[in-house]
Structure 1
Amino acid sequence: MKRESVPKYAVAFVIAGLVVLIDQSTKAAAIAGLSQTERIPVLGDALGLQLAYNPGAVLSLGSGATWVLTVVGVGAVAALFVAAVRARTTWRAWGLGFILGGAIGNVLDRLLAPPGFGIGHVTDFLAYGNWFIGNLADVALAIGGVVLVIGAGVRHRAQTRNAAFGDRPDDEREGANG
């Protein structure tokens, strides 16, 4: 039996910690150096830097119920923590790590940023054309979702392949090279 050297949950928590560190650092830099009224183009009109404070969720939905979003966010972080502890695959650990880190990054803003505890506005600074302004926590959430989808596809493919070989491990298959 092969023993893994690093538990899957440790991978998830390290990724989450790095995401939170990078997210909060870039938000602090955005607050210190960007304007709410002026956009700095990065990739023409497609991507720019502009400071915004979002009291709502995606596209400012629910901006009148920031405290509800905070409670939901804290609950999501708790559920993601449990899911990360239970992660059984590397793909799942990586995906949940990114999602957990992104969720923590935005919940920290809701808990600690102005205008007050539990009703804080999320700091955004990545302006995607005229669509919306987000942050690196949002990017991490998207990356985590993509990683989970890819991981599910890889797992499905492996299960399909194993079913074709009678569910025998790789080293028991005829012609397998250990």
Structure 2
Amino acid sequence: MGLLAGLAAVVYVLDLVTKVLVVAHLEGKDPVVLIPDVLLFRVIRNSGAAFSIGTGLTLVLTLIAAGVVIAILRTARNLRSLPWAITLGLLLGGAFGNLTDRVFRAPAPLQGHVVDFVQVFPATGFPIFNVADSSIVCGGVLAVLLAWRGYQIDGSRHEDAGKRGGGKAGGGE
């Protein structure tokens, strides 16, 4: 639980600080090129979800994000796995970071737009994102990998007894 909480806090603070800095120093200005054709900072306000999907559904997305935070906190009660602590910490910190924007930023409470500012390979049109988005994506990828490999939240590992030729004799799970 300590690792989950600590990692979530680091992600949240990093997301919050970077958003405050880019809004204060970069919003309304030309993009800042860090590595030509590879990485730049361009500040936008995103009313939708990742990749600007669902613009106009800000209130619904706010409620979904709040539900995700609650689900992670409830799931964490059964946590006994270091890899899952990292996964849930990344997801919780990222979800809470974007939820903070949706609750407190303009245009209105519970309808705020998320501050996005990192763009990679701008010529490709790759979506602009933030620290919270990166954390959510990394946590999501880890969750899929852990589930695929059979690692459970409680620290156990579910072996698929039905694997071709790989099942154990007697086959209990």
Please classify the TM superposition score into its range, dividing by the shorter chain length: 0.7 to 0.9
Unaligned runs of 5+ in 1: 1-8, 167-178
Please, which of 132, 135, 142 is the counterpart of residue 147 of structure 1?
142
Question: Following the alignment from structure 1 to structure 2, what is the Cα–Cα distance between the partners of residues 147 and 34?
Answer: 32
Residue 159 of structure 1: how far off its partner (Å): 5.9
Flag as ranges the 4+ runs of structure 1 deviating above 3 A: 149-152
Residue 106 of structure 1: how far off its partner (Å): 0.2
Please, which of 75, 84, 89 is the counterpart of residue 67 of structure 2?
75
Which residue identity is paired with 2:137? A
Identity %: 33
Residue 104 of structure 1: how far off its partner (Å): 0.3
Q: TM-score, normalised by structure 2?
A: 0.80
User: Radius of gyration: which is bigger?
Assistant: 1
Listed as ranges, the matches of 1:1-178 within 5 Å are 9-36=1-28, 38-128=30-120, 129=122, 130-152=125-147, 153=149, 155=151
1:48 is paired with a residue whose SS is strand
Which residue identity is paired with 1:120? G
Q: TM-score, normalised by structure 1?
A: 0.78
Deviation string 1:115-141 (CA, Å, 9 cap, x unpaired) is 110000000110122221110001111
8 Å contact from structure 1 (residues 114, 121) kept in 2: yes
Which residue identity is paired with 2:143? L
Question: Following the alignment from structure 2 to structure 1, what is the Cα–Cα distance between the partners of residues 3 and 34?
Answer: 32
